[in-house]
Amino acid sequence: MGLTNLSNIDFLLIMGRAVFLVFSFALATVTFTAWRRAARRESEQMQAQNQALLEQLAQIHARFDCTDQQVRQLGEQLEQAATRSASVGRAAPGYQIAIRLARGGASADELAGGCGLTRAEADLVRRLHGPAQGGLRQAS
């Protein structure tokens, strides 16, 4: 009787181990499947984030191109302004000569013809720097 009881106990232990192994395998399968689903979701989220970042990068690039173009235009405008300033700076001696001539009593026609001024400029230079009229002293 002791031998049969021992074999029944061995049989029960073997059956317990088999059930435990099947249960462990089923649990591992469920866990692995859940892990794969989570990994897939994370991968999809990362792809969506990467796509959003690429779109933002494209927008930034477009803004940069626009800003670069505006900076170039401003640079060209500055160069043009510098060129105009240089040409105005060369014309300044004509005004200096016109002022001296106006102080000496030259007429507006003489100032316009001799110094390259327009008639309105010559009149203004004569009024500002010419001899006083009617006893009033003009500002120099």
Q: What is the rounded (10 degree) CA torsion for 119, 125, 127, 133?
A: -110
**Any idea of the CA torsion for 135, 136, 139, 140, to the nearest 10 degrees?**
-10
- Can you give the pLDDT at residue 12? 92
- Number of domains into which the chain is organized: 1
Query: Which residues form the domain of 29?
Result: 2-129
Compute the CA torsion angle 35, 38, 39, 40 (nearest 10 deg): 120
pTM listed for this prediction: 0.42
Q: What is the pLDDT of residue 81?
A: 83
Is residue 138 included in any domain, yes or no?
A: no
Could you give the CA distance from residue 50 to residue 52 in angstroms, rounded to a whole number? 5
135 lies in some domain: no
pLDDT interval class at 135 (50, 70, 90):
very low
Q: How many Å apart are CA 96 and CA 98, to the nearest integer?
A: 5
Residue 120 in any domain: the answer is yes
pLDDT in tens, 97-127: 889 899 999 888 888 888 888 888 889 989 9
- Whether residue 68 lies inside any domain: the answer is yes
- Structural domain includes residue 30: yes
